[in-house]
Amino acid sequence: MASKRTQEILDIFEKMYGRQTRCYLNYEEPWQLLVATILSAQCTDARVNIITKDLFVKYKTIADIAGADISEFEQDIKQAGFYHSKAKNIIACAKMLTREFGGEVPSDIDELTQLPGVGRKTANVIRGNIYGIDSIVVDTHVKRISKRLGLTGEDDPEKIEFELMKRVPKDYWILINMWFITFGRTVCKAQSPKCQECQLAGYCREQDHPRKSSRKIQQKAPRSRKA
Ligand code: SF4
């Protein structure tokens, strides 16, 4: 059960965004969401959607990606950035999926995180969106919002995930992914949060309360190999 403070925060988010969930990455098949999520590391979802629009026409199955020429695939995904490592991981991941999982994307977190390029964040995107398993995806927005709202004191994404799992009731886990990402993109931005219009300002733990200050908040998203 959530503390009174945490529940008040959740209630405000629910009033703002409702209980409707959506995924910002376009996909039709589970493997497509996996590929899109790997591509989205250090890249906007909008750019990934532009890339995958053509990519999923060219590569129609996970087996097609497993058999792709790496140089050609790198060019296909170049706009996503870090295309050498992303191409290497996606092709290796596709090979492992076809070889060891019959081409199906698993739901088990340990199996998912064995796949090249797949860390807990990507695994939880798959578990929540494909399998409806309650999971918390700690991306740069979820990390920043959780810290500013005092829902975690941790810096490490995995520790944040486990802290949020303790503090937030399970039936909110998938919802807070969408709520925090939407809030982080539109109001509580990393560099220039719109504190004057923030409905959560009364719960903000940001040092030197930004509502009283116009200074920009400096915060960098970390880079990690597995997303
Ligand atoms: S007051 Fe500003 S920094 Fe704090 S949660 Fe709201 S938008 Fe973010």
8 A C-beta contact, residue 149 and residue 8: no
pLDDT digits (tens, 9 = 90+) for 165-206: 999 999 999 999 999 999 999 999 999 999 999 999 999 998
pLDDT digits (tens, 9 = 90+) for 33-79: 999 999 999 999 999 999 999 999 999 999 999 999 999 999 999 99
Rounded distance from Cα 19 to ligand 1 centre (Å) = 22
Q: Are residues 99 and 66 in the same domain?
A: yes
Residue 50: the pLDDT is 98
Q: Is 143 exposed, middle or buried (0-12, 13-18, 19+ CB in 10 A)?
A: buried
CATH of the domain at 146: 1.10.1670.10
Q: Which long-range contacts (CB under 8 A, 24 or more apart) does 25-32 make?
A: 25/49, 25/52, 26/52, 26/53, 27/52, 27/56, 28/56, 30/104, 30/105, 30/126, 30/130, 31/61, 31/62, 31/65, 31/94, 31/97, 31/103, 31/105, 32/56
How far apart, in Å, do the first and last CA atoms of the chain sit? Answer: 29
pLDDT digits (tens, 9 = 90+) for 97-132: 999 999 999 999 999 999 999 999 999 999 999 999
Rounded distance from Cα 87 to ligand 1 centre (Å) = 37
CATH of the domain at 94: 1.10.340.30
Residue 207: the pLDDT is 52
pLDDT digits (tens, 9 = 90+) for 126-157: 999 999 999 999 999 999 999 999 999 999 99
- Rounded CA separation 68/75 (Å): 12
Structural domain of residue 16, as residue ranges?
A: 4-20+136-203
Residue 213: the pLDDT is 43
pLDDT at residue 209 greater than cutoff 80: no
- With DSSP H G I counted as helix, E B as strand and the rest as coil, what are the percentages for the chain, rounded to 5? 60, 0, 40
**Is residue 220 annotated as a catalytic residue, yes or no?**
no
Catalytic one among 95, 121, 166, 220? 121
8 A C-beta contact, residue 121 and residue 156: no
Burial 150-168 (b: 16+ CB within 10 A, else e): ebbebeebeebbebbeebb
Residue 21: the pLDDT is 81
Q: Are residues 107 and 46 in the same domain?
A: yes
* Residue nearest to ligand 1 atom 5, measured at CA: 204
**Is residue 139 annotated as a catalytic residue, yes or no?**
yes
Pocket of ligand 1 (CB under 6 A): 148-149, 187-188, 193-195, 198, 200-201, 204, 206, 210-211
Other CB atoms within a 10 A radius of the CB of residue 38 amount to 26
Q: Are residues 68 and 116 in the same domain?
A: yes
pTM reported for the whole predicted model: 0.86
Q: How confident is the model at residue 215 (pLDDT cuts 50, 70, 90)?
A: very low
Domain count, the chain: 2
Ligand 1 pocket test target in 12, 181, 200 with most atoms within 8 Å of CB:
200
Q: Residue 226 domain-assigned?
A: no
Q: Residue 225 domain-assigned?
A: no
pLDDT at residue 162 greater than cutoff 90: yes
* Residue nearest to ligand 1 atom 8, measured at CA: 188
Rounded distance from Cα 167 to ligand 1 centre (Å) = 20
8 A C-beta contact, residue 117 and residue 86: yes
Residue 20: the pLDDT is 83
Amino acid code (one letter) for 182: T
Q: Residue 61 domain-assigned?
A: yes
Residue 16: the pLDDT is 97
Residue 220: the pLDDT is 44
pLDDT at residue 225 greater than cutoff 60: no
Rounded distance from Cα 46 to ligand 1 centre (Å) = 24
pLDDT at residue 219 greater than cutoff 60: no
